[in-house]
């Protein structure tokens, strides 16, 4: 895959990723995986990391705190009430939305994480794609972005930092928005992301809580970025598999919403660190409904099932399983590698839509007609709020 970058850009860094291999699994990485335990700053030993992901314990959205942990932390925060606050941390919405007037509302979101690849420009692109996604999930348009950046200046040349920031800024420009500032610190680990501001008409705002009984669930991008990024770090992906992974990680989520303009979308969210199960759980709980997922309709990135079967599963998948398994029925009837992928933390994942059954053919037709991958993967049902049934056949 050719990484889209300005002609004067150059980098000697190869595109490999970092994530944590769960201690619960044993897997032969043929000596290719980096040592990701501990930290070597290079001071005193004369050694410095040669790759951005060398000392990364968990990369991308696999580095997110689990939903179980977040609930404990957020429980003590003061509740906020404002008639103009249309969306906030309630129901784990993708972003905050504040009404300015009857025609305008501002959307605010933030996202950052450790490197998923060693190419600094590509890392910047991926992090920006992921941060922008929350704006699209709310139905909005990004306007401005501020960079959030931690960089170990003693370990890497400043040219690497510049490439990360440039990759992010270029991706934001492709989205029609602008990076207008930010904040940086020196740290022991590289972290990059964006605080993004967008706009939406209040009447057009999408949330994860508007699904109706019988609504079809439509998913865009294929699943499996967590597993694939772990395999990438271990140098186990073929060239075509790397190309498909990078394409997925740098594809903005703006096109599906543009193509579906005029269609009545009842609810929407993006699939990120909590995996498919976690984000459908959030939609069902917010909508006070249950859901059923058709496993046969799910799409995975190439070789993900085989890689997961061999034990290349990020630790974030186990955190998601712990957080959400009590809300899922029949998932243990699946092969372990399939259930692992349903919990797999996604970086720059796709969108989930809830649409009326009568609109399903139109939705899929429009998406496929614009060459956007999409599948009907299940439906929302009357039932225990937040509960998910896995349909094996």
pLDDT at 26: 35
Output the pLDDT for position 93.
73
The per-residue pLDDT for 43 is 38
Q: Which residues pair with 142 in a beta bridge?
A: 198
**Beta sheet of 96-99, edge-to-edge order:** 85-87, 96-99, 105-113, 191-200, 141-151, 178-186
- Tell me, what's the pLDDT at 361? 97
From CA 382, how far away is CA 277, in angstroms rounded? Answer: 18
Q: Residue holding tokens 């970025």?
A: 225
Mode of pairing for the β-strands spanning 388-391 and 290-294: parallel
Coil, strand or helix at 209: coil
Q: CA–CA separation, 265 vs 357, rounded Å?
A: 11
Neighbours of 176 (CB within 10 A): 11
Show pLDDT as tens, one digit a residue, over the chain (393 residues). 444 443 333 333 233 333 333 333 333 333 333 332 233 333 333 455 668 887 666 555 556 656 667 677 777 777 888 899 898 777 677 789 999 999 999 999 999 899 999 999 999 999 999 999 999 999 999 999 999 999 998 889 999 999 999 999 999 999 999 999 999 999 888 999 999 999 999 999 999 999 999 999 999 999 999 999 999 988 999 999 999 999 999 999 999 999 999 999 999 999 998 999 999 999 999 999 999 999 999 999 999 999 999 999 998 888 899 989 999 998 889 999 999 999 999 999 999 999 999 999 999 999 999 999 999 999 999 999 999 999 987
Give me the catalytic one of 61, 154, 268, 304: 61
DSSP for 254-297? HHHHHHTTTS-EEEEEE--TTHHHHHHHHHHHHHT-EEEEEGGG
pLDDT score of 54: 74
Check if the beta carbon of residue 113 is closer than 8 Å to that of residue 58. no
For the chain, domain boundaries: 207-391
Task: Evaluate whether the domain defined by 207-391 bears CATH number 2.60.40.1220.
Answer: no
Q: What string of DSSP letters covers 42-97?
A: -TTTS---SSTTTT-SS-GGGGSPPHHHHHHHHTTSPP---TTEEE-TGGG-SSEE
pLDDT of amino acid 332: 85
Question: How far is Cα 198 from Cα 219, in angstroms, rounded to an integer?
Answer: 23
How far is 230 from 358, CA to CA, in rounded Å? 40
Residue 268 among the catalytic residues: no
- Which residue's entry shows tokens 């009568």? 358
pLDDT of residue 62: 56
């Amino acid at each position: 895959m050719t990484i889209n970058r300005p002609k004067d850009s150059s980098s000697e860094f190869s595109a490999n990723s970092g994530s944590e291999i769960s201690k619960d699994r044993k897997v032969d990485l043929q000596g290719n995986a980096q040592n990701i335990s501990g930290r070597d700053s290079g001071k005193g030993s004369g050694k410095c990391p040669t790759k951005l992901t060398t000392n990364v314990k968990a990369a991308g959205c696999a580095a997110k705190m689990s939903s179980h942990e977040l609930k404990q932390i957020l429980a003590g925060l003061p509740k906020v009430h404002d008639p103009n606050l249309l969306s906030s941390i309630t129901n784990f919405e993708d972003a905050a939305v504040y009404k300015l007037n009857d025609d305008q509302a501002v959307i605010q979101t933030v996202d950052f994480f450790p490197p998923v690849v060693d190419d600094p420009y590509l890392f910047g692109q991926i992090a920006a794609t992921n941060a922008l996604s929350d704006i699209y999930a709310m139905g909005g348009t990004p306007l401005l972005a501020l960079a959030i950046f931690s960089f170990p200046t003693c370990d890497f040349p400043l040219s690497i930092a510049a490439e990360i920031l440039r990759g992010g800024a270029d991706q934001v420009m492709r989205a029609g928005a602008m990076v207008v500032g930010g904040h940086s610190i020196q740290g022991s680990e590289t972290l990059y992301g964006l605080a993004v501001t967008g706009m939406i008409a209040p009447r057009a705002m999408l949330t994860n809580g508007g699904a109706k009984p019988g609504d079809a669930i439509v998913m865009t991008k294929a699943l499996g970025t967590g597993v694939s990024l772990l395999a990438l770090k271990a140098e186990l992906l073929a060239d075509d598999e790397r190309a498909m992974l990078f394409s997925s990680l740098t594809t903005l989520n703006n096109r599906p919403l543009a193509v579906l303009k005029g269609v009545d979308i009842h609810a929407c969210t993006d699939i990120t660190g909590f995996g498919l199960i976690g984000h459908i759980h959030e939609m069902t709980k917010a909508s006070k409904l249950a859901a059923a997922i058709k496993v046969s309709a799910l799409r995975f990135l190439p070789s993900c099932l085989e890689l997961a079967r061999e034990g290349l599963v990020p630790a974030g998948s186990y955190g998601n399983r712990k957080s959400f398994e009590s809300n899922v029925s029949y998932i243990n009837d699946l092969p372990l590698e399939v259930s692992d992928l349903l919990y797999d933390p996604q970086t720059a994942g796709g969108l989930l839509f809830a649409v009326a059954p009568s609109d399903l053919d139109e939705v899929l037709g429009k998406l496929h007609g614009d060459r956007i991958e999409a599948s009907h993967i299940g439906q929302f049902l009357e039932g225990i709020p937040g509960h998910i049934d896995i349909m094996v056949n």
